[in-house]
Each structure stands twice: as C-alpha cells, then as structure tokens.
C-alpha cells in the first residue's frame, strides 16, 4: 500500500497570536511550531495501515524551511520518506495553490491512499483535502473517525455527520481521507526513531520539477488572498449572580428571558 | 455573468435554515450591486421547494433534480452544482458551512478553479465594489478579510450569523431546470449505511443553543444532567477538550480549536475553566452563561452571566426552572 500523508506546520494551540502593526500579516516571531494536531492523526493512521498491510508512508508538506522539523517528527514516528515543497515560489499560496502543488507532487509517486487532517488549525479552511481529491480525480471522505483499509484497494470509512450520526462509506482507492480526532492516539517518536529519521530521504523539488508553471504556484497561483488581518473585539465580562441557591438559578433564568431576551 | 448564486442545501426535502439566512443577507448587496440573486437546489423531487427560496429573495432557482441525488454524495452533488453554476454563470457562489457544505464547496471550487473562503461571518463590498469575505481564523483568535482573484468568488457562510428577513409569502420562484447526467457517474465513494446518533440532537455548528460540560463534570455518567437540560432547551451538547480527553464526552462533541467552532445564540458552559483553545471556539456566541465552582476561572471573563457554585446542585434546578418557564 502506497500511503501519502499531507501535513502542515502551524503555531501551537497555546500561542497568543499577534499581528504585524499594519495588519498585513501574523507576527511569526516567538511562535512555537507544531504539526497541525489533525495531521498527527493522519500520520499515525498512515503508519498503522503500513504496519497492517505493508508498503511505504510518504509525508508531503508545503511550507518554509522551518517545516522540516514537522516533517522529521513524522519520519521519527515511522514514516519512510518525505517531499518538502519548500521553494519560496510555493509560499504565500491559498488553499487552491497549495492543493494544486500537493497534487502535482503526489502525481509523481505511486499513491493508493492520501491521508490528511480534517483542517489545519491556523487558517481553519478545511478545503485542501477535497480540492486535492478533485485535482487528483479521486474520491474523498472528510471528518473520518474510523478507517479500515484492505489489500484489494478498498476502504470502509466512518465519518461523523450532523448531530453525532455517522456515515459508513464504501471507498474505491485511491482516495483522499481527511481524519478527525478520535480515530487514533498518535504515538510519540522513540529515540531510535528520531535517530533513524535523520537518515531518511527528504526531496525538495522545485515547481519546474513537478511540471508546475511559475504562474500556478504561490501568490501567483492563489485564487484568493487575505487583504487584512485584525484581532477580534475583546468580550467584556458580564455579571456574576451573587444571590444564594436556588434564588441564583431563578435570577439567571429571569435575566436570560428579560434582559438577554434569549429564551 | 449574472450575479449571486446560493447553493441551498436540502436534506430529506427540508431546506437548511442557513440558505434562507444567506439569501436574507444578500438581498441588500444584490440591490447595491445590481446583481441578480439566484439559488440552486439539488436533490430528488425538490422543485416544489423553490418558492420557499423565492420568499427569501431568490429570483431564479436552478434545480438539478434526479433520483440518484436523493441523498448527498460528494461526486454527484459536485457534478450537479457545477452544472447549475454553468447555467447560472454567477460572479459569486455561496453555500452554508454545514457538514455537507464543507465537503461539497471545496471540491466544487477546485472544479471551477475559483477561490473559496470558508466559514465566513461577514460579506461586504469594498470601494471597488469587489466582494470582501470576513472569516475567523486560528479558530477565532484572528479575523481575516479576504478577496478572490478568480472570475468567480466563492464562500461558505457560517450558520446562525446572518439574521432571517421576514419571508414574502406572495413570491414565486422562476424555476430553471438544469439537466446534468449524474446517472452516468460512478461515484468512488458511496454511503453504505447511516448510523444514527443515540439521541436526536441538533448539530453543534448549527445549534442555536449549546450546553457544554468540562472537566468539572467529573464523570461520563454525569453528562446525564446536561442531556436533561439540553432536552428541555432543544439544544446541542458540547464538551471541552479536557472533558473529551478524560473520556466524559465524544470527540465529535468537542468545542474549541481542536474541535468545532460554534456560534449559538446561547452557550451554557458547565464546569469549563475556559482555556484559550476553548474560548476561541465559542467566543462569538451571542450570550454566554458560565457555571463553575472556581470564581477565578477564565470563563467568567467572557461570560455575560455567571454563577459561582456547585453545578451538580445548580444544573438540575436550572432544568426545572427552564421547564417551568417554557411550559408557560
């Protein structure tokens, strides 16, 4: 089974995000970078499939030089090799240009299943998996919480839909599977794993090596762009209801009805 | 090019409220730009629903009707929506940021080679009369304004953000049938079975009221008191990451940066301390109520109403009071 895992390096969830003074971008100084948590589930799932069915796990990531840390972590967990789209021409892309570059990279290698996290926790777009599926002309499954892959290139995926219901999907591979929390518990990289990861191959193809036109990547290939970043207005603290129980509960219900007019 | 096309999602013959919300909001922008405001319906025997869309301002309703579209399927619905877009030739393409909308719209955008902005909370025109889409990123820690560089601009709109206008019952839709040969498509992903949820509760991302429990719930079985409160309010049940990681609630219930971002009218946080990741996911709720025994809990800094106390005593009482109130 040829397994591809797409990952993105993002700021840690604990990070307090600051903006550049002119609102043109996020201040990247002082940020601790991690693998987007949903992508960790994708790496773990890829390694589990390999352990069961054999094959190789290839990590594909688009991001600046620093993203190599995230890639090495994935390799230390047990992935075999990686493609790092690190050329500056790829950067400042939107979801479409990212999906387009990832698709071009994936097309150069055998691929039976492409695993992604359900969304990156920085821009929260949740678009790349579906766009990737379209650009690779394969099927897709989003919000997958359980996956069973078989040697005959079929898969059964359980995906969460409205109100806690689940759809059971019958999938012909290759397909893009975007996983969500609950599918597995990602392993920690072992010390031997970390040592071995340093020797694993990481390709860094330029756009031309993937037959990508200079106008199709990065900012030029983007179909959308952010024109302004701002911080949301701070929420003001409201009132603490001081009366004793059970009067406090009655007061709360009264406030919700009469003041907030919400019930 | 003839304006705005709203992909109106229907499920089992019922149009999702978010479609009416988008149409309501777009009436003003359509007037300002001179754009036509149109909608699209995909499904089996759905033409009869078109007038409902007209009542919220849709002029034409492009209908792709086919027995194989009875249930949502990514590949079939993408083909159908692309066919409708081809017929409607919109400049702006909008859909709801629902479970199906988040699956369909990126695939459709890639097919149409358009930019797409997810989960938008505001649509406005800039000085060049270009559409600007505002969306929270970093699950709400930052707000970004974006524009599309493609011929078509596309976006998904978060439910419960735009308010509904009064429907005009006198309006009838101009139905445009669009033929798309979906029967010849062999989808590579097929829904084999649907496992129903244990309880019929609304989805977190669409719910207008959410009751959430945190670490302070202490055990999975204690969520029963939340379920009872939720039943009275007709609300969804959420949880903090701490509660999910402790096994008290399912991952699909998690609200916050590594869970769902929610936007209800009323959010009741029970035994939730209010970590930065959790606050990011629920801070746009219209009214926040917090009940926690720790007066220093950060959740009180964002709550409109707070009670410092024992939730195991307070919640059953609250259920009783709401029941009484709603029975009036």
A115-123 average pLDDT score: 96
What are the boundaries of each domain within chain A?
A: 2-221, 234-263
Residue B106 to residue A227, Cβ atoms within 8 A: no
A129 neighbourhood in chain B, CB within 8 Å:
106
pLDDT over threshold 80, residue A10 = yes
B63-74 average pLDDT score: 96
pLDDT over threshold 90, residue B287 = yes
pLDDT over threshold 70, residue A117 = yes
Contacts with B185 (C-beta within 8 Å, 6 or more apart), sequence order: B75, B76, B79
- Please give the structure tokens belonging to residue A103: 């698709």
B204-221 average pLDDT score: 95
pLDDT of residue B246: 95
H helices of chain A, in order, are: 37-53, 68-77, 95-107, 128-135, 191-197, 218-221, 247-258
The residue written with tokens 């149109």 in the block is B38
Residue of chain A whose Cα is closest to the Cα of B287: A260
Residue B118 to residue A227, Cβ atoms within 8 A: no
Put simply, whether B172 touches A (Cβ < 8 Å) is no
A248 neighbourhood in chain B, CB within 8 Å:
307, 309, 314
B178-184 average pLDDT score: 95
Residue of chain A whose Cα is closest to the Cα of B117: A125
pLDDT over threshold 90, residue B2 = no
pLDDT over threshold 90, residue B318 = yes
Give the number of beta-carbon pairs within 8 Å between A and B.
272
pLDDT cut 70: percent of chain B above it: 100
pLDDT over threshold 90, residue A263 = no
pLDDT over threshold 70, residue B1 = no
Taking only the tens place, the pLDDT of each residue in A52-110 is 999 999 999 999 999 999 999 999 999 999 999 999 999 999 999 999 999 999 999 99
Element (H, E) at B229: helix B223-233
C-alpha B24/C-alpha B31 separation (Å) is: 12
Q: How many CB atoms lie within 10 A of CB B208?
A: 18
Residue A261's Cβ-count burial label (10 Å; 0-12, 13-18, 19+) is: exposed
C-alpha B215/C-alpha B47 separation (Å) is: 48
Whole-number mean pLDDT of chain B? 95
Topology of the domain covering A2-221? Rossmann fold (3.40.50)
Residue A223 to residue B149, Cβ atoms within 8 A: yes
Taking only the tens place, the pLDDT of each residue in B12-63 is 999 999 999 999 999 999 999 999 999 999 999 999 999 999 999 999 999 9
Q: How many CB atoms lie within 10 A of CB A16?
A: 10
Taking only the tens place, the pLDDT of each residue in B238-258 is 999 999 999 999 999 999 988
Q: Which of B106, B203, B314 sits opposite A245 (nearest CB)?
A: B314
pLDDT over threshold 90, residue A171 = yes
Q: Is the pTM of this model over 0.90?
A: yes
- Please give the structure tokens belonging to residue A251: 């007061």
pLDDT over threshold 60, residue A144 = yes
Lowest average pLDDT, out of A181-185, B201-205, B210-214, goes to B201-205
Domains of chain B from N-terminus onward: 3-184 (3.40.50.620), 209-327 (3.40.50.1220)
**A201 min Cα distance to partner chain B (Å):** 31
pLDDT cut 90: percent of chain A above it: 90
Residue B145 to residue A256, Cβ atoms within 8 A: no
Put simply, whether B150 touches A (Cβ < 8 Å) is yes
> Hey, which residues 87-106 in chain B have their CB within 8 Å of chain A?
98-99, 102-106
The residue written with tokens 């009469």 in the block is A258
Listing from the earlier edge strand, what are the strands of the sheet with A2-7? A202-203, A81-85, A56-62, A2-7, A113-117, A175-179, A139-150, A154-160, A166-172, B189-195
pLDDT of residue A137: 98
């Amino acid at each position: 089974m040829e397994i591809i895992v797409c990952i993105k390096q993002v700021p840690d969830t604990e990070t307090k995000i600051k903006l550049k003074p002119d609102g043109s971008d996020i201040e990247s100084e002082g940020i601790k970078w991690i693998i987007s948590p949903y992508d960790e589930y994708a790496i773990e799932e890829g390694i589990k499939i390999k352990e069961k069915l054999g094959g190789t796990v290839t990590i594909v990531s688009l991001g600046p030089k620093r993203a190599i840390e995230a890639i090495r972590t994935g390799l230390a967990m047990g992935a075999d090799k990686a493609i790092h789209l690190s050329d500056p021409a790829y950067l400042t892309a939107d979801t479409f240009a990212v999906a387009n570059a990832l698709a071009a990279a994936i097309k150069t290698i055998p691929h039976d299943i492409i695993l992604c996290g359900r969304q990156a926790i920085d821009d929260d777009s949740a678009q790349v998996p579906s766009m990737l599926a379209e650009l690779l002309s394969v099927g897709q499954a989003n919000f997958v919480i359980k996956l069973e892959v078989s040697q005959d290139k079929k898969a059964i995926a359980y995906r969460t839909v409205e109100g806690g219901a689940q759809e059971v999907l019958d999938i012909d591979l290759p397909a893009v599977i975007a996983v969500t929390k609950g599918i597995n518990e990602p392993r920690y990289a072992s010390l031997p794993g970390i040592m071995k990861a340093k020797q694993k191959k990481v390709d860094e193809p330029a756009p031309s090596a993937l037959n990508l036109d200079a106008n199709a990547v990065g900012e030029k290939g983007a179909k959308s762009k952010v024109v302004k970043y701002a911080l949301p207005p701070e929420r003001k603290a409201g009132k603490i209801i001081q009366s004793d129980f059970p009067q406090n509960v009655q007061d709360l219900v009264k406030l919700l009805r009469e003041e907030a007019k919400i019930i | 090019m003839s304006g705005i096309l709203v992909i109106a999602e229907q499920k089992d013959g019922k149009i999702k409220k978010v479609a009416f919300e988008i149409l309501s909001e777009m009436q003003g922008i359509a007037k300002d730009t001179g754009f036509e405001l149109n909608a699209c319906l995909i499904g089996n025997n759905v033409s009869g629903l078109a007038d409902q869309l007209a009542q919220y301002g849709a002029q034409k309703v492009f209908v792709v009707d086919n027995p194989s579209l009875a249930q949502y399927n990514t590949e079939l619905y993408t083909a159908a929506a692309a066919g409708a877009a081809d017929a409607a030739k919109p400049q702006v393409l909008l859909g709801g940021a629902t479970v199906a909308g988040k699956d369909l719209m990126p695939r459709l955008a890639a097919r149409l080679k358009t930019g797409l902005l997810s989960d938008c909370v505001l649509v406005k025109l800039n000085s060049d009369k270009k559409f600007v889409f505002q969306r929270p990123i970093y699950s709400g820690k930052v707000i970004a304004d974006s524009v599309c560089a493609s011929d078509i601009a596309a976006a998904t709109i978060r439910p419960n953000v735009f308010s509904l206008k009064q429907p005009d019952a006198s309006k009838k839709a101009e139905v445009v049938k669009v033929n798309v040969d979906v029967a010849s498509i062999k989808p590579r992903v097929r829904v084999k079975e649907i496992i129903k949820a244990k309880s019929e509760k609304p989805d977190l991302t669409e719910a207008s009221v959410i009751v959430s429990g945190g670490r302070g719930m202490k055990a999975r079985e204690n969520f029963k008191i939340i379920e009872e409160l939720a039943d009275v309010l007709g609300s969804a049940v959420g949880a903090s990451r701490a509660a999910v990681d402790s096994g008290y609630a399912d991952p699909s219930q998690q609200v916050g940066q590594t869970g769902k971002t929610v936007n209800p009218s009323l959010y009741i946080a029970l035994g939730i301390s209010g970590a930065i990741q959790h606050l990011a996911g629920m801070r746009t709720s219209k009214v926040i109520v917090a009940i926690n025994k720790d007066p220093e809990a950060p959740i009180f800094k964002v709550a409109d109403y707070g009670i410092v106390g024992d939730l195991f005593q307070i919640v059953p009482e609250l259920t009783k009071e709401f029941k009484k109130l709603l029975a009036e």
